[in-house]
């Protein structure tokens, strides 16, 4: 009986070992299958992203180049007269390009410092209760549709700009009044619209800075403000640059709000002139454009696309250079 029991126990032990080995092998196979499946899914997703970029680029080139060959690149980029329905037609967009450059630059110069300082306030300066109120308010600001910004600009900002315009140009016989729909109004609206993007990303980057950096700076005798500007912000530079890039993209690509507050006239980009941006040029005329006029609007889209690509490439290059120097 003892021999039988011993044999039975040995058989059970062997069976258990075999089950363990089988389960280990099975787990390894399952893990390998899961890894392969995940790798395939990730590759497909990345391929879709790359394909989307390539498709958009090719579409913009194919749609935007015919007008360049028909009208001429110099005639489009460096001519200041925009009369697409006249006879003969003129398709100069120099003032439109300069308006986009000036408007975006001014909005970034206004919005980025305010956004970064607001992020510093939320992450490092404000008490928790105050930060708990300010942060949701900023997030709510990010969720407001752009058309609402435009409506607020029409009913609040434009009347104020018109009053200022009447004071400055009182008695002028040459100034063409815009009713407050001018470059200044567009810049202010854009500066407000980029604030949520800059604040949220900058604040996240500042909070991600290791606490040891702050502690070491304070231990060496630096004040809180010195620590923020000399240690924390430089350490969070990559995230802040990302926030600036996204802010520029938001500013240069905005159309609806700018259409409502800028006046949408092709003029020299002066503060109290009614102006037209690249985006508003497309939006305001695409509905009725046809033939060569429509092709030129696609060329404007191609110019806008190239601008955004150059800005992103330049800022990313500066960011990499800064990281390498560190």
pLDDT at 97: 92
* In-domain check, residue 84: no
Q: Which of 160, 196, 192 is nearest to 178 (CA)?
A: 160
Whether 173 and 215 map to the same domain: the answer is yes
* In-domain check, residue 76: no
pLDDT > 90? residue 198: yes
Contact 178, 165 (CB under 8 A): yes
Whether 265 and 128 map to the same domain: the answer is yes
* In-domain check, residue 82: no
For residue 51, give its domain range: 1-71
Whether 118 and 205 map to the same domain: the answer is yes
Q: Residue 210 maps to which CATH number?
A: 1.10.3720.10
pLDDT at 55: 92
Q: Which residue's structure tokens are 């609206």?
A: 189
Whether 157 and 301 map to the same domain: the answer is yes
The token pair at 116 is 């970064």
Whether 45 and 131 map to the same domain: the answer is no
Distance of alpha carbon 242 from alpha carbon 237, whole angstroms: 9
Distance of alpha carbon 160 from alpha carbon 124, whole angstroms: 35
Distance of alpha carbon 82 from alpha carbon 87, whole angstroms: 12
Count how many domains the chain has.
2
Contact 273, 267 (CB under 8 A): yes
* In-domain check, residue 260: yes
E strand map for 236-276:
none
Whether 44 and 160 map to the same domain: the answer is no
- Mode of pairing for the β-strands spanning 82-83 and 90-91: antiparallel
Distance of alpha carbon 210 from alpha carbon 225, whole angstroms: 17
Whether 302 and 169 map to the same domain: the answer is yes
Lowest mean pLDDT among 17-31, 143-157, 171-185, 256-270: 17-31
Percentage with pLDDT > 90 across the chain: 28
Whether 267 and 218 map to the same domain: the answer is yes
* In-domain check, residue 81: no
Q: What is the mean pLDDT of the chain?
A: 85
Distance of alpha carbon 309 from alpha carbon 312, whole angstroms: 5
Lowest mean pLDDT among 180-189, 299-308, 317-326: 317-326
């Amino acid at each position: 009986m003892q021999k039988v029991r011993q044999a039975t126990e040995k058989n059970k032990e062997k069976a258990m070992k075999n089950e363990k080995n089988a389960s280990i092998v099975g787990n390894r196979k399952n893990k390998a299958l899961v890894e392969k499946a995940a790798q395939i899914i990730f590759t497909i997703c990345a391929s879709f992203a790359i394909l989307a970029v390539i498709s958009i680029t090719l579409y913009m080139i194919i749609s935007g180049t015919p007008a360049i060959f028909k009208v001429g690149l110099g005639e489009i980029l460096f001519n200041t007269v925009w009369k697409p329905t006249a006879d003969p037609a003129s398709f100069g967009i120099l003032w439109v390009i300069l308006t986009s450059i000036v408007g975006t630059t001014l909005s970034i110069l206004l919005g980025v410092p305010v956004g970064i300082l607001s992020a510093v306030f939320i992450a490092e300066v404000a008490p928790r209760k105050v930060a708990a109120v300010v942060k949701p308010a900023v997030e709510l600001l990010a969720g407001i549709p752009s058309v609402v910004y435009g409506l607020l600009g029409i009913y609040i900002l434009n009347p104020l700009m018109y009053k200022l315009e009447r004071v400055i140009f009182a008695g002028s016989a040459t100034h063409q009044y815009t009713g407050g729909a001018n470059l200044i109004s567009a810049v202010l609206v854009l500066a407000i619209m980029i604030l949520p993007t800059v604040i949220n990303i900058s604040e996240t980057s500042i909070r991600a800075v290791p606490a040891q950096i702050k502690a070491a700076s304070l231990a060496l005798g630096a004040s809180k403000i010195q620590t923020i500007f000399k240690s924390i912000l430089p350490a969070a530079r990559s995230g802040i640059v990302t926030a600036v890039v996204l802010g520029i993209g938001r500013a240069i690509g905005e159309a609806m709000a700018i259409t409502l507050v800028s006046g949408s006239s092709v003029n020299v980009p002066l503060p109290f002139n009614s102006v037209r941006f690249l985006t508003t040029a497309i939006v305001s005329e695409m509905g009725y454009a046809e033939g060569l006029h429509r092709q030129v609007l696609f060329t404007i889209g191609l110019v806008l696309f190239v601008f955004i690509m150059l800005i992103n490439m330049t800022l990313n290059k500066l960011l990499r250079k800064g990281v390498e120097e560190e």
